[in-house]
């Protein structure tokens, strides 16, 4: 029999195939390189096994339907992803597995993924999403504005909670643990959650709504226990580092009925996968999988306004909010080197459906946390109203002081 994974020009039924786009760097002809990927990730190997029948190849073999320039589009039959066991780990093993180690390829990057309805509907998706978060905070239109408690680690629970209170008193809607803080001895999760819950209750008594995302990143078999501990002590939002926990850890939280608070998804470690333009996995793909797994908010980057390397922020944002077989839209989060002076630039690209998180841009304000929070709120109010930050700062001291410091 003749084994040929090339099916150039064939139009695949999007309900019957997982369709992936790869960027490939190789000395091979791009069609041959694409065939090597399709072979490795479906029915092939380096030889032609006698057990590979024409029927197996026809039913389960991947198809290279486009190969042009350095881009290859490959469709994987939906049946390859069937069964009750496997989930997102199996999806990744197929579409982003051994192909990265193929010696015939100098580089390969999974740029995009399109999933059939039947596959997507097996996953919970967000329970809250954009609208749910807005409803919780009673903030129907304007961007959510948050902070990350700084320093990243080191504050004991009492001082940690005081930071949250000051930020909320300055008007912020959100705050969160940093990605490196979970349950260390100097700031145990149980006491931290309890003390933060107390100040959030106090803020609510003062007629200001705020939620804080508590980081429960831990081993997969312990994550529900960590969630229970946080919820028992009043947590209003939970956070996970999805790439270090794994998508299945996030999915376990989203599917558990007792976890009835929004899930904030951090992308710590993503640069190991996304930063090399010729090798790895793009952020839009991570966005798709995080949405399927049940994240309500996901970090996507700062649209060029912050300190962190980023690309594809707009496409990542689109993957969170576009139609995806009925899944709720996810709140895009921008964080990393933000301060009031860059808010207008960010919102011009992000629109209003964004959660703007400033750590150092709040904590570093010369007049303290509360003033830093007010400056961020004022910057968002200005951009939302179509007024420049400089003009708005004339009558808003905290914003003026921030601009003097950072601009």
Active site residues: 150, 266
With beta carbons less than 8 A apart as the criterion, state whether 70 and 50 touch. no
With beta carbons less than 8 A apart as the criterion, state whether 24 and 72 touch. yes
Query: Do β-strands 17-25 and 71-77 pair in parallel, antiparallel, or remain unpaired?
Result: antiparallel
How would you classify residue 138: left for phi > 0, otherwise alpha for psi between -120 and 50, otherwise beta?
Answer: left
The tokens of 188 are what? Answer: 């145990």
With beta carbons less than 8 A apart as the criterion, state whether 294 and 122 touch. no
Which among 122, 15, 2, 123 is positioned nearest to 61, based on CA atoms? 2
The tokens of 127 are what? Answer: 């329970």
Question: CA-CA distance, 407 to 404, in Å (whole number)?
Answer: 6
Strand order, beta sheet including 17-25: 63-68, 71-77, 17-25, 107-114, 280-281
Helix axes 283-293, 313-321, angle to 10 degrees: 20
The tokens of 377 are what? Answer: 């709120």
CA dihedral 54, 59, 60, 64 (to 10 degrees): 90
Beta-strand runs (E) in 130-246: 144-148, 174-176, 211-215, 237-241
Cα distances (Å, whole numbers) of residue 398 to 149, 338, 361, 378 = 19, 16, 12, 8
Q: Compute the Cα dihedral for 110, 116, 118, 124 and give only its sign.
A: positive
Question: CA-CA distance, 328 to 168, in Å (whole number)?
Answer: 28
- Residue 27: CB atoms within 10 Å: 9
351 cis-preceded (ω within 30 degrees of 0) = no
Exposed / middle / buried, residue 406 (Cβ in 10 Å: 0-12, 13-18, 19+)? middle
């Amino acid at each position: 029999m003749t084994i040929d994974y090339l099916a150039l020009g064939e139009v695949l039924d999007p309900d019957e195939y997982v369709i992936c786009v790869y960027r490939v760097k190789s000395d091979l002809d791009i069609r041959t390189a694409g065939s090597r990927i399709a072979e490795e990730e479906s029915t092939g190997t380096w030889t032609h096994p006698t057990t590979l029948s024409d029927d197996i190849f026809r039913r389960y073999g991947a198809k290279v339907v486009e190969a042009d320039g350095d881009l290859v589009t490959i469709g994987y039959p939906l049946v390859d992803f069937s069964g009750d066991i496997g989930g997102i780990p199996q999806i990744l093993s197929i579409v982003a597995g051994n192909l990265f180690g193929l010696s015939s390829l100098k580089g390969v990057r999974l740029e995009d993924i399109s999933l059939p309805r039947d596959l997507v509907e097996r996953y919970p998706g967000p329970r809250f999403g954009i609208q749910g978060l807005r409803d919780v905070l009673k903030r129907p239109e304007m961007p959510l504005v948050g902070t990350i408690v700084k320093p990243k680690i080191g504050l004991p629970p009492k001082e940690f909670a005081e930071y949250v209170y000051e930020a909320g008193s300055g008007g912020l809607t959100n705050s969160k643990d940093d990605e490196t803080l979970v349950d260390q001895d100097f700031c145990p999760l149980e006491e931290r959650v309890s003390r933060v819950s107390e100040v959030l209750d106090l803020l609510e008594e003062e007629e200001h709504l705020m939620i804080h995302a508590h980081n429960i990143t831990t081993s997969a078999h312990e994550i529900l226990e960590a969630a229970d501990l946080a919820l028992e002590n009043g947590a209003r939002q939970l956070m996970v580092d999805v790439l270090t926990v794994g998508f299945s850890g996030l999915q376990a939280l989203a599917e558990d009925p007792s976890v009835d608070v929004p899930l904030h998804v951090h992308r710590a470690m993503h640069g190991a996968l996304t930063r090399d333009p010729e090798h790895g996995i793009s952020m839009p793909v991570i966005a798709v999988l995080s949405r399927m797994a049940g994240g309500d908010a996901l970090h996507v980057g700062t649209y060029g306004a912050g300190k962190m390397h980023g690309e594809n922020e707009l496409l990542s944002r689109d993957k969170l909010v576009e139609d995806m077989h009925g899944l709720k839209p996810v709140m895009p989060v921008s964080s990393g080197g933000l301060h009031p002076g860059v808010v207008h630039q960010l919102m011009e690209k992000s629109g209003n459906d964004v959660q703007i998180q400033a750590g150092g841009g709040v904590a570093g304000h010369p007049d303290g946390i509360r003033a830093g929070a007010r400056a961020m709120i004022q910057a968002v109010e200005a951009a939302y109203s179509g007024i420049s930050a400089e003009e708005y700062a004339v009558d808003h001291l905290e914003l003026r002081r921030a601009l003097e410091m950072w601009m």
